[in-house]
Amino acid sequence: MRLFHVSEEENIQVFEPRLPTRKDLDQTVALVWAIDEARLPNFLTPRDCPRIAYHAGIKTSKSDKTKFFTSPKNSYALIIESDQFDKMKNTTLYLYEFDADKFVLQDEIAGYYVSTTTQIPIAKYRINDLFSELIKRNVEIRIVDNLWDIADAVKESTLNWSLCRMANTKHRLK
């Protein structure tokens, strides 16, 4: 298994644990976060880009696969708003790879892993073309005018999903 931190910052040498801001986590335990390779497509966007990512899991129904994917060969999708296209096209990301043995699973569906100790990356990769990277990983890319039009349907489906940075959408929740 491979674990990564995705950043627009080019030269991070050391990852120090930080206190989480999420209310559903213990805010007294500082963490270094990493994502597994399978869920990496959720983060192959500019940091503040609002997006919906979803993938078929073991509990995903056949009808949801048909409804949410344009091809039976696809099992992962990423949706962004049209006004994010140029930013997505012009952003460079850096993948910092970690020693997976130094992390523990925090959320299986999201692919989140955490460590309570300082981490030094074992490798760094540069991604200049986010769209090509997603396509290489067999991710179906959708570009829509309004993410909220599909968000509820995805949340109510049997898919594994992630809604990220939705407060940054150009259309606010109705």
Q: Model-level pTM?
A: 0.92
Does 60 map to a domain? yes
Does 48 map to a domain? yes
Does 62 map to a domain? yes
Cβ–Cβ < 8 Å for 108, 44:
no
Degrees to nearest 5, angle at CA 64 with 61 and 68: 150
Q: Which domain holds residue 162?
A: 3-168
pLDDT value for 150? 94
Does 174 map to a domain? no
Radius of gyration of the chain (CA): 16
> Average pLDDT in the 90-99 region?
98
The dihedral of CA 101, 105, 109, 110: what is its sign? negative
The answer to whether residue 6 scores a pLDDT higher than 70 is yes
In the chain, how many domains are there?
A: 1
pLDDT value for 89? 97
pLDDT value for 139? 97
Does 173 map to a domain? no
Please count the CA atoms within 13 angstroms of the CA of 107 that sit on its side-chain side: 13
The answer to whether residue 174 scores a pLDDT higher than 60 is no
Amino acid at 126: R
Instruction: Indicate the pairing of strand 112-115 with strand 123-127.
Output: unpaired
pLDDT in tens, 98-153: 999 999 999 988 899 999 999 999 999 999 999 999 999 999 999 999 999 899 99
Closest Cα to residue 159, out of 81, 63, 80, 72? 63
Does 157 map to a domain? yes
Degrees to nearest 5, angle at CA 44 with 41 and 47: 130
pLDDT value for 173? 61
